[in-house]
């Protein structure tokens, strides 16, 4: 093995089961370390370069490359530790090989843990291991606390953590602390009292409801003295990073941060340690006190009505979502009349990358009025926006605003077609006749009392529905029929997928 000196690289040939080192060619410019190893029975040339590790076998036309951000660990010896790995013995002495564990980026945002063992010259691998150790692990979490809801989703959260997540954390050298929630609102108690100065981040394993508990506790805890009821009050960001593991029934937060709801992907995102600032939506009565916070989306009208119907059918268990959805789409949606206004924001462009700010002073200076009869008013923090010559919407959750959707009455078939486009993020989803979309920094509205004649029971039911709002699939009752929605920029740091992989 040689370092980045302008001399010859080492070659490896085998004679009578012995390894013989020969000089084969000069190390190219930019290669810090190079050598030949045996990998899965064939000879490969391994190179350590500024961006990562690259190897190519005889007859291969393309290189295998692993960026430093995707290297989990490397150690002397064979596959004797790590999730899903069994020891390999009797091939050659353990001192003549090292094992590399890394992250492979697959299609549709999926990450997978992989490993390879390079067999080389006995006693000559220290330089490789030292170089890999020097290049990896920078900025990664050293200690993570994970809160697990054991009854969320399929009630397998704790088992999945031990089988998939903890082994990956420990393989990456992360001190994995675990607390399993034991009762209702236990996550709130932990978020209110735990000493987070001893951890680099908090990972929430469960559905969106568990994340809501944590978010609604942490923001007030770290904003003591701030008037949280004031929608214009400046909030302080949390002093540690957050992450999520999708083990609940509703996993919208994970989808927004990872581009999927795959558990191994979410765990490897935390291992990589790449953090992105995220915005939060605060919702207030208009005027009045704080109602709550949302990390991805909130809904008023059709979708909050749907959640109430779903909650009334809990005896159907997981089937309640499909049954309630079919019934709600098949029937005429409840309508309500509102008067409101919104504050426009500059739309993200396809060139906006993670961490970049929109141009200062680019937003409109005033609120724009709107009014009408709608079936739903939704705020989506994901920041979906159209891009020319593309069929799919692009996402920028760090933009200046949110997508506000005003939804009007439409037929069941047309609505189902629109939902299909929305699920697939089709670029034409905002062109639907029943949808009016604005990109905003905030919006506020009041429900205008209906003048239609109806029974007292119908009036009471309508009044109940008009005092409910949905946060990430969890509905909350409100005191009034009005609300003020604001974007709180860069309030959280989140372990999230690199935006180039979305």
CATH code at position 105: 2.30.29.240
* Residues 70 and 112 placed together within one structural domain of the fold: yes
pLDDT mean by block of 10 residues, the chain; 502 residues: 39 33 47 90 92 86 90 86 44 76 91 94 88 91 95 83 95 95 92 96 92 93 96 94 90 84 96 90 92 90 84 67 76 92 80 39 72 94 69 69 93 90 81 90 92 82 90 83 92 80 34
| Distance in angstroms (rounded) separating the CA atoms of residues 36 and 44 | 6
Find the DSSP H helices in 222-291.
252-258, 263-272
Residue 489 is predicted with a pLDDT of: 87
Last residue of a domain, one of 252, 273, 294: 273
Nearest Cα residue to 476 out of 329, 289, 321? 289
* Cβ proximity of 168 and 83 under 8 Å: yes
* Residues 342 and 451 placed together within one structural domain of the fold: yes
Residue 348 is predicted with a pLDDT of: 67
Residue 50 is predicted with a pLDDT of: 92
Is residue 496, in this structure, part of any structural domain at all?
no
| Distance in angstroms (rounded) separating the CA atoms of residues 461 and 455 | 10
Residue 387 is predicted with a pLDDT of: 63
DSSP 8-state code for residue 2: B
Number of domains the chain contains: 3
| Distance in angstroms (rounded) separating the CA atoms of residues 367 and 5 | 64
CB atoms within 10 A of CB 437: 19
* Residues 66 and 189 placed together within one structural domain of the fold: no
3-state secondary structure 126-146: HHHHHHHHHHCCCCCCCEEEE
* Residues 268 and 281 placed together within one structural domain of the fold: no
Give the Cα-Cα-Cα angle 54, 59, 62 (nearest 5 degrees): 40
Residue 295 is predicted with a pLDDT of: 84
Residue 357 is predicted with a pLDDT of: 40
Is residue 359, in this structure, part of any structural domain at all?
no
Is residue 2, in this structure, part of any structural domain at all?
no
* Residues 338 and 478 placed together within one structural domain of the fold: yes
Per DSSP, the three-state class of 158 is: helix
* Cβ proximity of 3 and 34 under 8 Å: no
The H or E element that residue 212 is part of is helix 208-221
Nearest Cα residue to 176 out of 166, 187, 163, 190? 166
Is residue 501, in this structure, part of any structural domain at all?
no
* Residues 322 and 253 placed together within one structural domain of the fold: no
* Residues 167 and 90 placed together within one structural domain of the fold: no
- Going 261 to 308 to 217 to 479, the CA torsion angle's sign is positive
Residue 175 is predicted with a pLDDT of: 96
* Residues 340 and 429 placed together within one structural domain of the fold: yes
CB atoms within 10 A of CB 197: 7
Domain span at residue 56 reads 8-135
Last residue of a domain, one of 225, 247, 273: 273
| Distance in angstroms (rounded) separating the CA atoms of residues 339 and 314 | 35
Last residue of a domain, one of 273, 298, 317: 273
Provide the CATH number for the domain around residue 344. 2.60.200.40
Residue 55 is predicted with a pLDDT of: 95
Residue 307 is predicted with a pLDDT of: 79
| Distance in angstroms (rounded) separating the CA atoms of residues 194 and 196 | 6
* Residues 345 and 478 placed together within one structural domain of the fold: yes
Per DSSP, the three-state class of 103 is: strand
Nearest Cα residue to 210 out of 492, 491, 473? 473
Which residues 6+ apart lie within 8 Å of 9 measured at CB? 2, 23, 24, 25, 26, 27, 34, 35, 36, 45
């Amino acid at each position: 093995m040689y370092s980045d000196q302008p001399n010859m690289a080492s070659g490896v040939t085998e004679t009578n089961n012995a390894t013989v080192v020969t000089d084969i060619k000069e190390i190219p410019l930019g290669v810090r370390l190079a050598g030949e190893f045996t990998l899965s029975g064939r000879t490969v040339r391994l190179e350590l370069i500024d961006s990562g590790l690259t190897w190519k076998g005889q007859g291969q036309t393309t290189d295998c490359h692993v960026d430093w951000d995707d290297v989990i660990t490397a150690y002397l010896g064979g596959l004797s530790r790590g999730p899903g790995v069994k020891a390999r013995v009797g091939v050659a002495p353990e001192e003549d090989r090292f094992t590399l564990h890394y992250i492979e980026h697959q299609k549709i945002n999926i990450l997978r843990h992989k490993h390879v063992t390079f067999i080389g010259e006995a006693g000559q691998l220290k330089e490789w291991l030292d170089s890999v150790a020097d290049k990896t692990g920078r900025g990664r979490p050293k200690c993570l606390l994970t809160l697990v809801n054991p009854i969320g989703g399929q009630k397998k959260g704790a088992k999945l953590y031990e089988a998939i997540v903890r082994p990956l954390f420990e393989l990456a050298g992360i001190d994995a602390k675990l607390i399993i929630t034991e009762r209702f609102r236990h996550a709130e108690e932990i978020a209110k009292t735990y000493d987070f100065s001893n951890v680099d981040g908090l990972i929430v394993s469960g559905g969106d409801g568990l994340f809501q508990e944590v978010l609604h506790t942490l923001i007030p805890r770290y904003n003591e003295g701030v008037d949280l009821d004031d929608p214009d009050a400046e909030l302080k960001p949390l002093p540690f990073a957050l992450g999520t593991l999708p083990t609940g029934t509703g996993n919208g937060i994970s989808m927004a941060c990872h581009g999927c709801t795959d558990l191994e992907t979410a765990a490897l995102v935390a291992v990589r340690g790449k953090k992105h600032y995220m915005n939060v939506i605060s919702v207030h009565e208009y005027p009045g006190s704080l109602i709550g916070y949302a990390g991805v989306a909130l809904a008023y009208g059709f979708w909050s009505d749907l959640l109430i119907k779903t909650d009334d059918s809990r005896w159907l268990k997981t089937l309640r979502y499909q049954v309630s959805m079919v019934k709600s789409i098949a029937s005429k949606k409840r309508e309500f009349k509102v008067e409101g206004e919104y504050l426009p924001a500059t739309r993200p462009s396809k060139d906006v990358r993670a961490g970049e700010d929109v141009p200062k002073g680019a937003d409109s200076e005033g609120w724009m009025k709107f009014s009408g009869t709608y079936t739903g008013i939704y705020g989506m923090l994901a920041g979906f926006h159209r891009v020319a010559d593309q069929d799919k919407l692009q996402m920028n959750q760090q933009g200046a605003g949110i997508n506000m959707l005003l939804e009007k009455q439409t037929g069941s078939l047309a609505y189902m077609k629109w939902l299909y486009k929305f699920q697939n993020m089709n670029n034409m989803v905002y062109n639907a006749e029943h949808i009016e979309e604005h990109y905003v920094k905030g919006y506020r509205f009041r429900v205008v009392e209906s003048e239609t004649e109806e029974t007292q029971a119908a009036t009471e039911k309508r009044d109940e529905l008009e005092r409910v709002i949905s946060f990430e699939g969890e509905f909350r009752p409100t005191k009034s029929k009005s609300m003020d929605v604001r974007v709180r920029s860069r309030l959280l740091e989140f372990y999230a997928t690199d935006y180039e992989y979305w």
